[in-house]
Amino acid sequence: MHGWIILDKPLGLGSTQAVAAVKRNLRSAGFGKVKVGHGGTLDPLATGVLPIALGEATKLCGRMLDASKTYDFTICFGTETSGLDAEGEIVATSDIRPSLAQVEAVLTQFTGPIEQIPPAFSAIKIDGKRAYDLARAGAVVEMKSRAVTVYALCVSAPLREHNDVTPGCDATPEVIDEITLTADVSKGTYIRSLARDIAYALGTVGHVAMLRRTRAGPFNLESAISLDKLNAFGQEAAQEDIILPIEAGLVDIPALNLSPEQARAVQQGRVLTGIAMKDGLHWARGADLRPIALVQNVDGILKTVRGFNLTL
């Protein structure tokens, strides 16, 4: 059992609980003990794409954690909370509300390489302890700034259309209590921090009222299944409707076709030379087209990064 289950994680379910649900349904479907891991934590208050790896696909979880991700999120203006989300205690308020034009004007400040301070209620470790455990215990948590990249940031289309002012009209755009944005970000980016800082730039405060991940690496909502469909797997639903092949997590990098002799060399961890190919990461496959390994080519020298043990 090797491959991916892409869960459209519902509200209130933690990532660890999602993994447990997959294990439970695999057992119910008669697959016994299968190694399972996830490719990027989603808070219980967030929904959306949660890649869950099975068997040899768990070797790609680290790569999935490093992948860029896309989120839709709603900023509720006027209230900042301790967790920067809808569940935290109110720590600051403001009567200032921005207009749509003001929001769009500040988004360029948060596009590209930026520095951000993660929320105190996060999984980052401080002296061996999770920041959220320290924060919940009442400790003063000093979070260090980190460099991240926001590749794209824009107002979600429906709200922009709703708030557009007719050309030539003298009407002033109304201020808004909340706004939904779409962000394409690098690993390590905290959307709650991004929302907080956008609100600060607008002269107000805010918190995340809705957070939905629409893409994680090569996976998006189109390939995601609901929790109900996952539960149907334990009731003899078709495997191909639930589980994607391991190579579905590799479609964003080039494939490299190897001869039987080259495939054996890669499986044995030997270095190959003389293969005409671009530098960078590739996934190697043999005559049966099954993934053999992740390989890295540098100046004509091909080395194995991670091997897969896929048996028929």
Catalytic residues: 43
Q: Report CA dihedral (89, 92, 97, 102) to the nearest 10 degrees.
A: -100
d(CA 83, CA 135): 9
Beta carbons of 190 and 118 less than 8 angstroms apart: yes
**Geometric angle at alpha carbon 291, from 286 and 292, rounded to 5°:** 70
Give the Cβ contact number of residue 296 at 10 Å: 15
Pull the structure tokens for residue 201: 């730039």
Question: CB-based contacts of 200: which residues, under 8 Å, 6+ apart?
Answer: none
Nearest C-alpha neighbor of 119 from the set 153, 149, 146: 146
In 3D space, the residue among 26, 44, 28, 46 whose CA is nearest the CA of residue 36 turns out to be 26
